[in-house]
A and B are shown apart, each in its own frame.
Chain A
Amino acid sequence: MSWIGQGADRAGKIAWMVALALLVIAPFVGVYPIFISQALCFAIFAMAFNLLLGYTGLLSFGHAAFFGGAAYVTAWLLQEKHFTPELALLGGVAVAGLTGLVFGAIAIRRQGIYFAMVTLALAYMLSFFFLEASFTGGENGIQGIERGKLFGLFSLEGDLAMYFFVLAIFVAVFLFVLRVVHSPYGQVLKAIRENEPRAISLGYNVDRYKLLAFVLSASLAGLGGALKVLVLHLATLQDVRWEQSGEVILMTLLGGLGTFAGPVVGAFIVVGLQNFLSDRAGSWTGVIIGCIFVACVVAFRKGVVGELQAWHKRRQPKA
């Protein structure tokens, strides 16, 4: 069952095709398209995050800055500047990437635990900016955003059209991340994760590799946030807050750190859980999420996909 982890071999391809087929028919068999669209946006966010933590070994505690920052920019471009959706998305992604370049350049000066604290602090600083800035609507955020017409031609106002647009982008991001992870560049990232001093002594400019990984991850996280604006018609302060940064960590951890499918699985679980709990548990949701976090760290560190892989390995020890 290595396909779950790697996604590149033949069995993997079949499994992913099945998953894709399920996603294509899902809205026609009664699954609420907005829900899966939202889950897919978070799946993109979590894949972006996993590129950094799972494959490069850098724990960013500030990824909400890119997710929420891009959301604000996209919302503003759509509502105030009347951009078409694809240009608004690009604008959001570009701003997220640039923010990632600045934050990354500062944060990669430290490793491990300090890297996490630095990214957290920088993202917190940015959330102050978004709270105070005039275009973000303060505590209320930007609401009632119209999705507009893709390329000025295809209306995205229908939830089904929106869903397939999100699905198409998700597949593109998926293939892109797959390509990155399996490229020589991705191999160097893994080498850095495993043993940074050795990567340095082999002559790799480690800081450059890390910075590029950070910018890539920030841009993709931004894409997830920007898409979410289209899906839900709003951008709020919640998207840039540190709780959001924590949530994407939880998705990745719960799904399986460093596995390819993990973040996607984790995103669906967390978004599904939140939807399920919001009616039933109300304001206890945060506490429950916290409990899952603690349980994951203490007893379930491999995550869903990681556990499946381990189980598979135990079943065929010689394979």
Chain B
Amino acid sequence: MTEVFGIPIQALFGQLMLGLVNGSFYAMLSLGLAVIFGLLGVVNFAHGALYMLGAYVAWFSMDRWGVSYWWALLLGPLVVGAVGAVIERTLLKRLYKLDPLYGLLLTFGLALIIQGVFQQFYGSSGQDYSSPDALQGATNLGFMVLPNYRGWVILVSLVVCFGTWFLIERTQLGALLRAGTENPALVQAFGVNVPLMVTLTYAGGAALAGLAGVLAAPVIQVSPLMGSNLIIVVFAVVVIGGMGSIIGSIVTGLVLGLLEGLTRVFYPEASNVVVFFIMAIVLMVRPAGLFGKEK
């Protein structure tokens, strides 16, 4: 078998693919964080909890009503997006004139609540959620064997991420959104319903997290704590990429997933912390982040 630096090439590609799957989740979550931060100025600590919520919507609706995975892909983001809209309308709305730190603290409290409620009902152990029949099995690509479901995750996340990018950077609606980010008062003066736009943006970011949760459900165990650790890694991703750029957060998420996969091949002990090391180095060399602009 072919080897690279003493590692069988199959194993290398296998880990890179796993890394890319993780990177897909990082990309979708950091993208949602960036969109929310851009318009609301809120760092959404509840993002991990919303992601967990999405996974539970899929698991619960399957378990209780037999809702298929494909419907869950739609239902998850809708439910989580609706929860997001309620959070924005009832709580976050009150904080916009304050220091952005309060938004972080509020969403931290929300994360504690959501996570705590799920722990109350489901303990800390995970639930299994199987991938749909159509996506089971694996495809031999010649240089590696790709499990179909993982390939699907990467595909969906790429489509969703670049779709979001297109929506924000290339459409009329996106132009309004970007204008709202720059100067909400002026956009409002032009007759745009900015508060509604803000609510929809938060709901949209939350829906992205919910979708990521549904996608993740068959790959990992669905558990109340699945989001709380992920969100911290995603924060590190966001610090590395800088929250100023949509495309930046997508690329950074994918690349860091890949780097994590590479680390798992060559030095497995460090794979959990490599993102944080990269964060520290980036802060030393380029404090604003790779794609960030220092104000």
Contacts and interface: CB of A to CB of B under 8 A. Distances in A.
Interface of A: 59, 61, 106-107, 109-110, 112-114, 116-118, 120-122, 124-125, 128-129, 132, 242-243, 246, 249, 253, 283-284, 286-287, 289-294, 296-298, 301
B104 A287 contact: no
Given A125-B276, A128-B273, 13 more contacts: A106-B283, A113-B100, A121-B233, A124-B232, A125-B277, A283-B120, A287-B113, A287-B120, A294-B110, A297-B105, A297-B106, A298-B94, A298-B106
B236 interface: yes
B116 A287 contact: yes
A297 B102 contact: yes
A122 B112 contact: no
Nearest to A118: B239
B276 A122 contact: yes
B272 interface: yes
B236 A297 contact: no
The residue in B101, B272, B273, B287 that gathers the most chain A C-beta atoms within 10 A of its C-beta is B101
12 contacts: A116-B104, A117-B239, A118-B239, A121-B232, A121-B275, A125-B273, A129-B273, A246-B108, A249-B105, A290-B110, A297-B95, A298-B94
B1 to A, nearest CB: 32
B239 A114 contact: yes
Contact of A112 (B101, B105, B108, B287): B101
A111 to B, nearest CB: 9
B62 to A, nearest CB: 26
**Which label, helix, strand, loop or mixed, suits the secondary structure of the A interface?**
helix
Given A113-B43, A253-B105, A294-B113, A242 B232 contact: yes
A116 B276 contact: no
A235 B229 CA distance: 22
A124 B116 contact: no
Given A112-B100, A286-B115, A298-B106, A122 B232 contact: no
A243 B283 CA distance: 25
A121 B276 contact: yes
Given A110-B283, A117-B239, A293-B105, A124 B276 contact: yes
A90 B198 CA distance: 51
B119 interface: yes
A113 B100 CA distance: 7
A291 B104 CA distance: 15
- The contact size tier of chain B is 35 or more
Contact of A128 (B112, B120, B272, B287): B272
A283 B123 CA distance: 10
A256 to B, nearest CB: 15
A249 to B, nearest CB: 7
A82 B293 CA distance: 52
Contacts of B284: 106, 109
Given A117-B236, A117-B238, A290-B113, A109 B106 contact: no
A256 B94 CA distance: 20
Nearest to A299: B94
A37 B295 CA distance: 45
A249 B235 CA distance: 19
Contact of A294 (B109, B115, B228, B236): B109
B144 interface: no
Contacts of B95: 297-298
Nearest to A110: B287
A293 B112 contact: yes
A294 B109 CA distance: 5
Contacts of A287: 112-113, 116-117, 120
B279 interface: yes
